[in-house]
Structure 1
């Protein structure tokens, strides 16, 4: 672990540093609270061992600053104090300290506190990792690996606000696999899942780095295309439909004999300043128009 020790008493600082290093940890030292805070911001130590009374930030103020600054990784704080009354101990814990050690410092006691600190910081690191994993899973479609509608809501809102602010255009394309119900009926749901994965990969390979593909639900996909005009979006989606045709997935339930895709596009612009959800509705209506016109095509919203 990386341990920061803050104490304005040179003798206590020397003893604490020796105890930390004998315990096998890296040690940073600060002679006052302000220096300790600067070192904390620079090095993000796992543990802070701080004196209560010292120039600059005192121990309580340093504890509060650390707790206010923390986001993901947890810093274990040990307060060094010669004031061992119950009120002082409670004040330190309420300020954010995890434990306290009375002075003069006993190296064995500090070693024991560091063993506890390792367990706690490891646990917090594991929890932070699992929170990230769960957050990613909550925003990812498990079948295709694409983003899902939960992620779409946040992304589309941010893009819309930015496009409004800077008077930029963007487009959305709603896509649907043609006659997919009959594909599942003929070939089974396992084959249907494989087909959806293949279509998702084809769509992902057809877009720019700035574009994002989402699984909207069932056999529907949504493409969000920043800074893309309606004409540019249509050209892109024509290439995407060609990529799906190039998969050559046999589909006896489609008149073409292969799996196909239809798409509807709507675009936001300063001349068409509808909100994001109205834009989705327009793209959906354009998709239905593409289906009604014979499928396997791209239609622009009117």
Structure 2
């Protein structure tokens, strides 16, 4: 369970006017910051507002139309997510992969996996000693099933396959969760990412589309990373990019710019994540490891977040 699981989290929405001690001022409308509880005071909200923007030489802060709303934290600087990281605690784990089941639908144009028996328990009794039995299963599926990782060979014939990623590229990466469930737009561009420190991080794009996974609506009005969003993540040194949507790219654009740029830069891509609402905006680590299969470019992963 993550920061927001099992307990409510809150954000403050307000208008504000700030005057600076060296002259000038700033006004904002409908600003939002993470707050520790529904009982937060206006003074505390003002302090969180100044801290979130890193405003220096601020004088008086006047808030109007203050409203506390129940919503997942987005990781505003100096807010509850930063404090939780500092306080630490025992490790907790959040499953971020969909369960693979016989016949499941990942994408409408791909066949579902077929799970069968290679050796049944009954048949094994003829092989082993009395009272000893085993079952050996068999699975047939396309590599793009469930929650999976893309290697550069998925896009480029001379790119490395699944065996080309060392474990330090996929295990225990510091994670930043970008909350986009209320963004009002499908394309995730550089402006939506600019406030986040992504260098060396697994950047996990939380769109909420996973709620429609396995239905025809999953691919309709799906969120995606734009070309300039991919360029921003590469330029800022992101280590991995994941998304809880049907594709990292706009599925109506056959050029697939996000795949092209990210895989061209050697960044792993993890698609069809789930449960990102249970992961705090910062402070968790992310792991997603496929088997070491030579010659395959994509394969399902056990993806999870470690908190604390």
Q: Could you tell me the TM-score, scaled by structure 1's length?
A: 0.23
* Larger Rg computed on CA atoms: 1
Which has the bigger relative contact order, CA under 8 A and spacing at least 6? 2
Q: TM-score scaled by structure 2?
A: 0.22
Higher strand share: 2
